């Protein structure tokens, strides 16, 4: 009962934030620049949280997340541009196809571990990108024209749904099983946990939400091109997860927000942008080698606060 | 209860078990002793479904389990405490124990067994909220055993529970092994510490480079020259 109260508290806070921003946008107090920043942040949070499930929770070091982002981006764009489907339907189809792509990639490559898995996922992501690059139907290298449809409302609810589903999955029996796989695969096997199944499920679920982010991403610009989904994009997402602290959902969110803002401001200094961005990463990793949050969640700090207060009361 | 008949197990091209046969009867403690690399862990992994035998049969409670998935073997009542404890380091003691009961659905039974584990290992009760990775080696061994008990096994496979523990802790662990056995769990115990193992076991097998070379009651083997020379430090 207490848990669900905490859950509703967060949900209500999030919805209030949404309403305030939405009001500011409709009343023109927030210009395009900032509303676009917010949408980009939302997309990056979805990407960070979905990869967090694969790497942070299940311990499968995948560095090809941009491949699934591309699948969602292109498939949803095909749905809206070529088939005139409503945007929400297109988003959903894009996510489902990305999840299927996740299954196709995951089933063979998740037998691999560590560095080998990383290389395999990177390779698959490049294959996906090259397929789009060579498909005239989606414009090849020149890219595909897309109508702008992503709004703050879509972006917000994209994040909202992603975070709720992944947080609940993590807390469930299935999430525990995934964490056990991360902690020690042999021991997890010995407990009777179907480790292959959970690796594939986490991978497909992560790909699903990466696909959702892809749909929001492609409909936020007027054009998408295969070059936007290269391995640098995969690394950007990976950095959110690592910087946030592997295993921390709130860490991944905070890192995605922080780095998106930093990178947005740095676009004004194109010459020094990558240097400063790299410096930020190096400094954070020097001072917080296990990421911003380690494996902790923001809520853990609140809980600790409460506990120590309780202790004080007992002492008196 | 368990009948292993002539199994061969390979790692790629390397044959780790060469025609191993052994038997465990209900209620017994059977120990398997042998030098490093003899194939003891390989045998336990094969029994719990982590490895598949290329040849031979494994019969458990009258049905064949050779090559079955680990899940169905755990469900059938065989729990494996792997070598080196392998606790889930970033989870608390309690979460580890809960995962031990991962395949069970009977909430009341799980709660009861949790009590039982805490009775067997009071140390774990004190530390139930502690991160398992910060437990001492002995405590981790207790946790690994407790976690296996949470699956409610009929047959418990223990891989070197005394590894790296101080003599006093070894004694504690072995007396708990006896207690678990008295409460009705059959035990197959792999050990390097032959002295201790032979003192708690009913029967024993000696394995050398993938073959069973000796077997008999623990008492008999203790008196055998070969065992004395090779495993009991020539006492
Ligand atoms: N994953 C593996 N790949 C290849 N060979 C292996 C693997 N695991 C074990 N072996 C080999 O199989 C043989 C038996 O190993 P096993 O782990 O069963 O020995 P053990 O009797 O448990 O030894 P110890 O007492 O040192 O734990 C050894 O020669 C070992 O090198
Ligand atoms: Mg061994």
The answer to whether the CB of B84 falls within 8 A of the CB of B118 is no
Question: Do A83 and A217 belong to one domain?
Answer: yes
Residue A3: predicted pLDDT: 65
Whether A177 and B89 lie within 8 Å, measured CB to CB: no
* Chain B residue with the nearest C-alpha to that of A197: B71
Q: Which residues of A touch B70 (CB under 8 A)?
A: 189-190, 192
Residue A304 phi, psi dihedral angles, 5° rounding:
-60, -45
Residue A12 belongs to domain spanning: 1-30
Ligand 1: which atom is nearest the Cα of residue B83?
27
Question: Do B108 and B168 belong to one domain?
Answer: yes
> Is residue B235 pLDDT above 80, yes or no?
no
Whether B82 and A186 lie within 8 Å, measured CB to CB: yes
Q: pLDDT tens, B142-167?
A: 999 999 999 999 999 999 999 999 99
Question: Do B110 and B171 belong to one domain?
Answer: yes
Question: Do B145 and B119 belong to one domain?
Answer: yes
CA–CA dist A207, A203 (Å, integer): 6
Query: Among candidates B58, B54, B88, which has minimal Cα distance to B72?
Result: B58
Does any domain span residue A90?
Answer: yes
CA angle (B181, B153, B20) in 5-degree steps: 80
Residue A211: predicted pLDDT: 98
> Is residue A310 pLDDT above 60, yes or no?
no
Residue A312 pLDDT grade (very low, low, confident, very high; cuts 50, 70, 90): very low
Of A173, A177, A190, which has the smallest distance from its Cβ to B50's Cβ?
A: A190
When pLDDT is averaged across residues A204-223 and rounded to a whole number, the result is 96
Whether B88 and chain A come into contact, CB under 8 Å, resolves to yes
Residue B4 belongs to domain spanning: 1-37+51-68+202-235
Residue nearest to atom 3 of ligand 1 (CA): B11
- For an interface test with A, which of B46, B70, B143 has the most A Cβ atoms less than 10 Å from its Cβ? B70
Q: pLDDT tens, B104-127?
A: 999 999 999 999 999 999 999 999
Does any domain span residue B157?
Answer: no
Question: Do A40 and A102 belong to one domain?
Answer: yes
CA–CA dist A161, A46 (Å, integer): 9
Whether B50 and chain A come into contact, CB under 8 Å, resolves to yes
- Identify the CATH number of the domain in which residue B17 sits: 3.40.50.300
Q: Which two tokens stand for residue B73?
A: 């073997």
Does any domain span residue A161?
Answer: yes
Pocket of ligand 1 (CB under 6 A): B 11, 14, 16, 34, 36-42, 83, 192
* Chain A residue with the nearest C-alpha to that of B70: A192
Residue A311 pLDDT grade (very low, low, confident, very high; cuts 50, 70, 90): very low
DSSP summary character for residue B215: E
Residue A304: predicted pLDDT: 52
Q: pLDDT tens, A90-104?
A: 999 999 999 999 999
Residue A303: predicted pLDDT: 61
CA distances from B50 to A59, A113, A130 (A): 20, 17, 39
Residue nearest to atom 9 of ligand 1 (CA): B42
Residue nearest to atom 2 of ligand 1 (CA): B11
Does any domain span residue B74?
Answer: no
> Is residue B70 pLDDT above 90, yes or no?
yes
**Beta partners for residue B9, in sequence order:** B17
Residue B219: predicted pLDDT: 93
Reduce the secondary structure of chain A to three states and give it as a string.
Answer: CHHHHHHHHHHHHHHHHHHHHHHHHHCCCCCHHHHHHHHHHHHHHHHHHHHHHHHHHCCCCCCCHHHHHHHHHHHHHHHHHCCCCCHHHHHHHHHHHHHHHHHHHHHHHCCCCHHHHHHHHHHHHHHHHHHHHCCHHHCHHHCEECCCCCCHHHHHHHHHHHHHHHHHHHHCHHHHHHHHHHHCHHHHHHCCCCHHHHHHHHHHHHHHHHHHHHHHHHCCCCEECHHHHCHHHHHHHHHHHHHHCCCCHHHHHHHHHHHHHHHHHHCCCCCCHHHHHHHHHHHHHHHCCCCCCCCCCHHHHHHHHHHHHHHHHHHC
Residue A308: predicted pLDDT: 39
Ligand nearest to the Cα of B46, by number:
1
Residue nearest to atom 19 of ligand 1 (CA): B37
Question: Do A103 and A82 belong to one domain?
Answer: yes
Calculate how close chain B gets to A190, using CA atoms only, in Å: 6
Question: Do B141 and B208 belong to one domain?
Answer: no
Whether A190 and B70 lie within 8 Å, measured CB to CB: yes
**In sequence order, what are the residues at sequence separation of 6 or more whose Cβ sits closer than 8 angstroms to the Cβ of residue B79?**
A190, B48, B100, B148, B149, B151, B153, B155, B156, B157
Question: Do B93 and B168 belong to one domain?
Answer: yes
Residue A2: predicted pLDDT: 61
Query: Among candidates B34, B147, B30, B56, which has minimal Cα distance to B96?
Result: B147
Output the pTM of the full model: 0.90
Whether B88 and A192 lie within 8 Å, measured CB to CB: no
Whether B71 and A184 lie within 8 Å, measured CB to CB: no
Q: pLDDT tens, B8-32?
A: 999 999 999 999 999 999 999 999 9
Residue B80: which H helix or E strand, with range? strand B78-81
Does any domain span residue A316?
Answer: no
Whether A183 and B80 lie within 8 Å, measured CB to CB: no
Question: Do A20 and A39 belong to one domain?
Answer: no
Query: Among candidates A190, A174, A158, which has minimal Cα distance to A57?
Result: A174
Residue A4: predicted pLDDT: 72
Question: Do A124 and A14 belong to one domain?
Answer: no
Residue A266 pLDDT grade (very low, low, confident, very high; cuts 50, 70, 90): confident
Residue A315: predicted pLDDT: 33
Residue A306 vs residue A294, higher pLDDT:
A294
B37, B40, B82, B206: which to mutate for ligand 1, most atoms within 8 A of CB? Answer: B37
Q: pLDDT tens, B195-225?
A: 999 999 999 999 999 999 999 999 999 888 8
Does any domain span residue A314?
Answer: no
Q: pLDDT tens, A226-260?
A: 999 999 999 999 999 999 998 999 999 999 999 99
- For an interface test with B, which of A170, A172, A182, A187 has the most B Cβ atoms less than 10 Å from its Cβ? A187
């Amino acid at each position: 009962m207490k848990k669900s109260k905490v859950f509703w508290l967060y949900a209500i806070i999030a919805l209030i934030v949404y309403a305030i921003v939405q009001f500011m946008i409709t009343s023109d107090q927030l210009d395009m620049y900032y509303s676009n920043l917010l949408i980009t942040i939302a997309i990056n949070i979805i990407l960070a949280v979905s990869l967090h499930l694969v790497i942070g929770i299940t311990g499968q070091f995948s560095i090809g997340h941009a491949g699934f982002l591309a699948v969602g981006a292109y498939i949803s764009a095909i749905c809206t541009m070529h088939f005139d489907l409503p945007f929400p339907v297109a988003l959903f189809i894009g996510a489902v196809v990305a999840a299927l792509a996740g299954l196709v990639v995951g089933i063979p490559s998740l037998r691999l571990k560590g560095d080998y898995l990383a290389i395999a996922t990177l390779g698959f992501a490049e294959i996906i990108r090259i397929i789009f690059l060579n498909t005239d139907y989606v414009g090849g290298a020149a890219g595909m024209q897309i109508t702008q449809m992503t709004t703050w409302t879509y972006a917000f609810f994209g994040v909202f749904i992603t975070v709720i589903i992944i947080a609940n999955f993590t807390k469930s029996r299935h999430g525990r099983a995934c964490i056990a796989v991360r902690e020690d695969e042999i021991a997890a096997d010995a407990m009777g946990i179907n480790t292959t199944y959970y690796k594939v499920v986490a991978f497909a679920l992560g790909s699903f939400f990466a696909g959702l982010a892809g749909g929001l991403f492609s409909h936020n610009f007027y054009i998408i091109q295969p070059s936007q989904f290269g391995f640098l994009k995969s690394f950007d997402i990976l950095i959110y997860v690592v910087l946030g602290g592997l295993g921390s959902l709130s860490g991944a969110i905070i890192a995605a927000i922080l780095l998106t803002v930093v990178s947005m401001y740095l676009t004004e200094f194109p010459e020094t942008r990558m240097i400063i961005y790299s410096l930020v990463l190096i400094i954070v990793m020097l001072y917080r080698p296990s990421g911003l949050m380690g494996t902790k969640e923001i809520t853990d700090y609140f809980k600790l606060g409460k506990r120590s207060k309780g202790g004080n009361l007992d002492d008196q | 209860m368990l009948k292993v008949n002539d199994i061969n197990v390979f790692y790629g091209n390397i044959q780790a078990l060469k025609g191993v046969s052994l038997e465990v009867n209900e209620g017994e403690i059977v120990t398997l002793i042998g030098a490093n690399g003899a194939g003891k862990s390989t045998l336990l992994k094969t029994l719990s479904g982590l490895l598949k035998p290329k040849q031979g049969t494994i019969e458990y409670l009258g049905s064949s389990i050779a090559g079955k998935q680990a899940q169905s073997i755990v469900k059938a009542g065989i729990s494996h405490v792997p070598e080196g404890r392998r606790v889930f380091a970033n989870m608390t003691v309690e979460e580890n124990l809960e995962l031990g009961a991962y395949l069970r659905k009977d909430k009341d039974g799980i709660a009861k067994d949790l009590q039982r584990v805490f009775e067997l290992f009071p140390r774990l009760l004190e530390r139930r909220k502690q991160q398992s990775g910060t437990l001492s080696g002995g405590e981790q061994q207790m946790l690994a055993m407790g976690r296996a008990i949470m699956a409610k096994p009929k047959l418990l496979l223990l891989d070197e529970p005394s590894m790296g523990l101080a003599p006093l802790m070894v004694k504690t662990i072995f007396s708990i092994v006896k207690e678990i056995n008295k409460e009705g769990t059959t035990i197959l115990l792999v050990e390097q510490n032959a002295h201790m193992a032979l003192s708690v076991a009913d029967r024993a097998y000696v394995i050398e480079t993938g073959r069973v070379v000796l077997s008999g009651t623990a008492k008999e083997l203790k008196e055998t020259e070969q065992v004395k020379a090779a495993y009991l430090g020539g006492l």
